[in-house]
Structure 1
Amino acid sequence: MSQERTGIATLKGNPITLVGPELKVGDTAPDFKLNKDLMTEASLSDYAGKVKLISVVPSIDTGVCDAQTRRFNEEAAKLGDNVVVLTISADLPFAQSRWCGAAGIDKVVLLSDYKSNSFGQAYGVQIKELQLDMRSIFVIDANDKIQYVEYLQEMTNHPNYEAALDAVHKLV
């Protein structure tokens, strides 16, 4: 049974339960299996040797998630080839692809945790009540060590973009 964490996160002030461990700076980033599309999977090792900024959103079709992904897409263009920006949600790959096309997103890689919630459970962001992933940010160095973590307390808040980007800049 996966660890459940309560009393640390809310959705519009209502408590939600996060499933999985609380990761910390210095931890080795857990591997994951996510979907690029219905048939193609991606894992942490696909981005070996790169700095990884992982932006986790509950659903790409909501205002804050949309703004968060657009902001990191804009910043990704300035970060160079040694950095990959991954946006992860439990949205179906079809919805992610449609949204990227409509929004003109071309620098961020969208990956779906819809099939097994393996990312959400490994990174401690799966919302038990909703089967979505909680808004959070992880910066992982080229050796797969976590260098920055932000677990948001309120799902509808924006992450600290500047702090996450500063963590990336320190690694490149």
Structure 2
Amino acid sequence: MSTAEDIELSGWADQDGVTKSALLHDMIGRERKRRILQGRYGTEIDMIAGYTETSLLGGKIWRGDNLAGTDAGYTRVKEFIERYSHDDRTLSIYNALDESTAEINCSVEDIPEIVSFVYNLEHAYPMTFIGESPSSKSYVIGMTLTRGRIQTPGVYRAENGRLHSVLPSNLA
């Protein structure tokens, strides 16, 4: 490390109120995480956002270790929908546990709230991707559903703040 770099590092440590070794430890930890995610997803990671963005089957997808954050995914899902806005999309919840999907017919505006509701109801962890599927015209959210309250495969409609199971007419 050059003298100029050492002086710069000392300045950063003083500014943060930590030792140089603590600052270096934190920097190495962030770099380690970045490299692990890069190896896992094969692309450069946006460390501030905490996800990678790729295209899959014509749609965008964000992948990460846990995209739910502190609000059960509400903010991140809302951000994704605002960035890739489509008025005609519905919601698909992909259950990573058994690799099946619950289709939820709802308005686009309700999707972030429904995702966070399902995440909390199911004690789902982790939320590993948020994407769009042009072929099914849906936003797809991948998470591990652990409680079995949302049936996958399944079809639901959102109505008056509740999810209602929709059965084919010959089974009802």
* Structures share fold, TM-score greater than 0.5: no
Higher Cα radius of gyration: 2
Bigger RCO (CA 8 Å, 6+ sep): 1
TM-score, L = length of structure 2: 0.27
Higher helix share: 2
